[in-house]
Amino acid sequence: MAKLFKKLFTKTLYYPGCLTKGVLKKEFENYKEIFNKIGIDFILLPDEEVCCGLPPLSAGYRKEAKRLAQKNFELFKKKKISKIITNCPSCYNAFKTIYPKLLRGWDIEVEHATITILNSLKKKKIRKEQTEKVTYHDPCHLGRHENIYDEPREVIERLGAEIVEMRKNRENSMCCGGGGGLRSNNTKLAKQIAKLRVTHVKGKPTKIITPCGMCFAQLKSADDRSVEFSTYVLGKLRGLKK
């Protein structure tokens, strides 16, 4: 009875973030299918949620960031959200680290999608033979900001790939060039940085995988092997025997 009561009155929200929801629509659908496949019961609030507030905060607009954070928090409480899963490293950083500093009473659990997926693979004891070589790019907000390095790598390896690390990886990883509004304000420089980043690829991996939509778009502009994390994961999950 207690479990049923908890399920009725608490909910998990999938929060894709502005970039995924508005631009990377294929990846948005990917994550929804992945969560359904691994048994995550979630809701969406696409027409009610607002930006996490990190972009204006990074630009120096703290009051606007706090306004957006407060609006989201009020909505989440109204909808009885107890947990947020997001695939966006920036949104994860905002909810996990920034909101507790901006808001009084922030008490919602936050989990990055790579960890959600890894926990499911472990529970189901899924580990495929490694049949291809790929590389992995660490997003700034997921890595240096939130110290999530191993979990996405383990998902990739469990689903059948060997990771050939890039030069400058983990805490020493180089930015893709899209962060801090650079892609919007200086497209030429952003693309030059992306081109430099892909020169750090070692060997001949079939894919450059990253769980950040901005990093994916940036690296894709410089190398066609760029693949967003969900595309890789969903392709592998679809191939598993039921």
Domains of the chain: 2-116 (3.40.50.1860), 126-238 (3.40.50)
| CA–CA–CA angle 93, 97, 103 (5° rounding) | 120
Cβ neighbours for 73, distance < 8 A, ≥ 6 positions apart: 99, 103, 105, 106, 108
Cα(41)–Cα(3) distance, integer angstroms: 14
Cβ 96 vs Cβ 146: under 8 Å: yes
Predicted local confidence at residue 165, as pLDDT: 98
SS3 157: helix
Average pLDDT of the segment spanning 205-224: 97
- pTM for this prediction: 0.93
pLDDT band at 184 (very low <50, low <70, confident <90, very high): confident
pLDDT, tens digit, for every residue of 30-86? 999 999 999 999 999 999 999 999 999 999 999 999 999 999 999 999 999 999 999
- The one-letter code for the residue type at 133 is K
Helix (H) / strand (E) element for 5: namely helix 2-9
Predicted local confidence at residue 8, as pLDDT: 53
SS3 31: helix
SS3 165: coil
Predicted local confidence at residue 239, as pLDDT: 87
